[in-house]
């Protein structure tokens, strides 16, 4: 059953089955995205609860002009960004270098080294790099957000984000080598 | 083979399904029920309450309706009430 059909049925009858269908479809994804942004599992769980309540109470505003999933994810990221800003951590989202990016154009290339390391190793690497780098890598490679969207999300230009991403990958790779002492995947 | 970032995503989602899915769903459902209940009450009673207060203050109702007729004004009120099994109004 299409999202739009479920939504219009829910709007008409506030049917519990419709709620559950949408919840089962999106809750885990919203949680994953909230975890990318907020890092802590408890915060991501609370955020998922808030975001879902917000989504259902605002369903009347959803006109179906974009895909429901797109709308859901934009509500998710906006909520998380607001939360981060409220907690006065927004300024560290991107360092000064982002405000004044170098002239070099960074290539947006998939990084096989990072892609092929073990999940447990990746978790450890992500724990040791900066919050900024962690969030950027996860937004791009775990959540599959396009550079353009990330740039829009943080109100930055695309080349600045690309450069930051390139550096984040380099740092993560270095950290992986430090921790696990291997470049076997390259 | 799935790359490590996608595996991480899958593990996080599995964690949520296993540990938080029910709690979060129950909390959201409960909140929505409360909000809907309050909004339904407001939707049903607020217009009547506001009309009552307006009339008490000497004003007129926003939407005068038949429902506001007194027994003397309402012709249908004088009819014999329907009895079981009989057509309406008999």
**How far is the C-alpha of A80 from the C-alpha of B41, rounded, in Å?**
32
Closest-CA residue of A relative to B24 is: A49
Please choose, from the candidates A12, A162, A19, the residue with its C-alpha nearest in 3D space to the C-alpha of residue B28. A19
- pLDDT, residue A110, reads 56
Question: Cα–Cα distances in Å, from A139 out to A186, B43, B76?
Answer: 23, 42, 68
Interface membership of A27 toward B (CB under 8 Å):
yes
Band the pLDDT of A147: cuts 50, 70, 90: very high
| Complex prediction ipTM | 0.77
pLDDT, greater one: A88 or A17: A17
Give residue-wise pLDDT tens across range A24-34. Answer: 999 999 999 99
Kindly determine whether residue A143 and residue B15, on different chains, have CB atoms separated by under 8 Å: no
- pLDDT, residue A46, reads 95
- pLDDT, residue B67, reads 62
Give residue-wise pLDDT tens across range A88-124. Answer: 654 555 544 444 444 444 445 456 778 888 999 999 9
Kindly determine whether residue A115 and residue B3, on different chains, have CB atoms separated by under 8 Å: yes
* CB atoms near residue A177 (< 10 Å): 14
- Output phi, psi for B64, to 5 deg: -60, 130
Mean pLDDT of chain A: 84
pLDDT < 70: residue spans in chain B: 1, 63-68, 86-90
Interface membership of A48 toward B (CB under 8 Å):
yes
Which among B8, B25, B35 has the least Cβ separation from residue A119? Answer: B8
Interface membership of B33 toward A (CB under 8 Å):
no
User: Which residues in A lie closer than 8 A to residue B32 (C-beta atoms)?
Assistant: 19, 53, 56-57
- pLDDT, residue A65, reads 82
Kindly determine whether residue B4 and residue A32, on different chains, have CB atoms separated by under 8 Å: no
Interface membership of A114 toward B (CB under 8 Å):
yes
Whether this model's pTM surpasses 0.80: no
Please choose, from the candidates B16, B24, B9, the residue with its C-alpha nearest in 3D space to the C-alpha of residue A145. B9
H helix runs in chain B, sequence order: 4-19, 21-56
A-to-B residue pairs, Cβ atoms closer than 8 angstroms: 74
Kindly determine whether residue A20 and residue B25, on different chains, have CB atoms separated by under 8 Å: yes
Kindly determine whether residue B32 and residue A53, on different chains, have CB atoms separated by under 8 Å: yes
Band the pLDDT of A84: cuts 50, 70, 90: confident
């Amino acid at each position: 059953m299409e999202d739009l059909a479920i939504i219009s049925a829910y709007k008409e009858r506030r049917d519990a089955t419709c709620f559950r269908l949408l919840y089962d479809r999106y809750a885990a994804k919203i949680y994953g995205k909230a975890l990318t942004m907020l890092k802590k599992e408890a915060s991501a769980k609370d955020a998922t609860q808030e975001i879902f309540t917000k989504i259902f109470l605002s369903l009347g505003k959803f006109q179906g002009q974009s895909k429901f999933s797109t709308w859901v994810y934009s509500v998710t990221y906006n909520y998380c960004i607001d939360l981060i800003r409220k907690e006065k951590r927004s300024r560290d989202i991107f360092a000064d270098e982002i405000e004044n990016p170098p002239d070099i154009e960074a290539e947006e290339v998939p990084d096989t080294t990072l892609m092929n390391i073990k999940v447990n190793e990746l978790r450890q690497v992500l724990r040791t790099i900066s919050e900024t780098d962690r969030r950027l890598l996860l937004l791009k490679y775990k959540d599959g957000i396009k550079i353009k969207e990330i740039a829009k999300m943080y109100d930055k230009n695309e080349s600045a984000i690309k450069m930051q991403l390139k550096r984040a990958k380099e740092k993560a790779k270095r950290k992986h080598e430090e921790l696990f002492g291997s470049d076997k995947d390259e | 083979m799935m790359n490590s970032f996608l595996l991480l995503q899958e593990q996080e989602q599995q964690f949520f399904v296993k540990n938080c899915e029910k709690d979060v769903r129950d909390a959201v459902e409960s909140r929505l029920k409360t909000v809907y209940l309050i909004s339904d009450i407001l939707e049903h009673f607020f217009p009547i309450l506001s009309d009552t207060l307006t009339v008490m203050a000497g004003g007129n109702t926003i939407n005068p309706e038949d429902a506001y007729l007194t027994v003397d004004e309402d012709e249908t009120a004088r009819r014999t009430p329907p009895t079981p099994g009989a057509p309406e109004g008999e």
